Amino acid sequence: MASLSDIVNVQIALQTAGVTRGEFGIPILVAPLFTFTERVRVYTSYAAASEDDLPPNVLTALSDAFSQTPRPRQIKVGRRSVLKGVIQPASLINNGTYSFKVGDETYSYTADGSATASEIVTGLAAAVTADTDEIITATVVGDTLEVAFTGSNLDSITLVTNLEWGTISPLSAGTAVADDLDDILDEDAAWYGLVMVERIKQTQLDAAEWTEANEKLFITATNEADVLNQALDTDLISVLGDTRYFRTAVMYHTDPDAAWAARVFTIQPGGETWALKGLSSITPSRLTATQKQTIVNKGGNTFEFYQENIALTNPGKTAAGEWIDVIRFRDWLKDTIQVNMTQMLINRDKVPYTNAGIQLCVSNLRKSLQEGQNVGGIAPEELDSNGVSVPGFVITYPNSIDLAPSIKASRVLDLGFTARLAGAIHVAEISGALAYEL
């Protein structure tokens, strides 16, 4: 049978390949935990997170993050490898049942009429030992039960009734933090802000080192007393500042990092500043002027009262002294340029190495830089004091005819640009006078 293709043969190629943009609005909270076996779990609300058997410090960080207004559409929790964990009775209940699950296996103990913590954890340890297929060890330590997986076995541990988590310890090898973060990144790279829930100085330093090499942003905190001593330089803020970490921001406080990241990540990169932000659920510090200046001089940030009902973050810098928003916008702009240019190149059969082809690339780069202007990271075109127009960015590119044959043969096009940062105003200094005549 004849067909219309015998008359008009139509072939339509799909030039719609998409390149995924990076994610710059999702924080991840990382901690050692037994709750799940995957490396990353996504939460869209605190209610959903509270249904999981997460350790108290992780739940607190999630509560702080989800308490912000506005707040991120989702927050991720990353699992560090665990060495051991401590289980303890949440309360003493005569004749009460205490139980936990390892995978699908439940271990339980029913207390007698005069329940004690020692009795309960001893009974739970006996229940684990009686299981010939056990994949954990359960050791009584005082009034607590210390659990650990045997060999390379790994499953979730869920506290079912009347138990709570105590300390959960990560692996202590020198590369443990980097290895855990590498594994988390391999499983899910769609996050940008890193918060380490543990308040262990070496863990924070290791995370800062890892972040510097992986184009993420590490938000952390410390309340070391030595931070407030101008003469000391071994506290966390001083060490991070001396190491010149551009991707780590540290605040002098106990626990503001999850809240701070969650609050600012709701804003488009380029449209934010990390200073002058109020944080819900976080108690502000009360610092003297000298203490604040010491913190800032060392490379730290603060969250403190400016009036009794106004508490704000300041100054919004990384440990190396760069504005946090500049680092985040730079990463966003790099990703935007890469994605836009790649998408154009792969969705065309060919971009010729001619002036017309060069202009296609220039136009694509211009589009990306204009996106940077639209979000507020790059300054718009403005007039100087002489009325001369100053562009927000300038692109440099070659003329095809002027290029050496060897350059064309390489099929590599070199483009360049310079852009003016829009910056932000944090302080207004106003001077004036009152008179009877102007």
The pLDDT value given to residue 7: 53
The pLDDT value given to residue 11: 61
Residue 174 confidence class, pLDDT cut points 50, 70, 90: confident
Q: Per residue in 313-332, pLDDT tens?
A: 999 999 999 999 999 999 99
The pLDDT value given to residue 10: 55
The pLDDT value given to residue 15: 58
pLDDT at 77 over 70: yes
The pLDDT value given to residue 260: 98
Q: Per residue in 206-240, pLDDT tens?
A: 999 999 999 999 999 999 999 999 999 999 999 99
* Predicted TM-score (pTM) above 0.85: yes
Round the average pLDDT of the chain to a whole number and report it. Answer: 94
Q: Which residue has the higher pLDDT, 20 or 338?
A: 338
Region 4-9 average pLDDT: 58
Q: Which two tokens stand for residue 216?
A: 């993420």
Percent of the chain with pLDDT over 70: 95
Percent of the chain with pLDDT over 90: 89
pLDDT at 386 over 70: yes
pLDDT at 408 over 80: yes
Q: Per residue in 131-144, pLDDT tens?
A: 988 899 999 999 99
The pLDDT value given to residue 53: 85
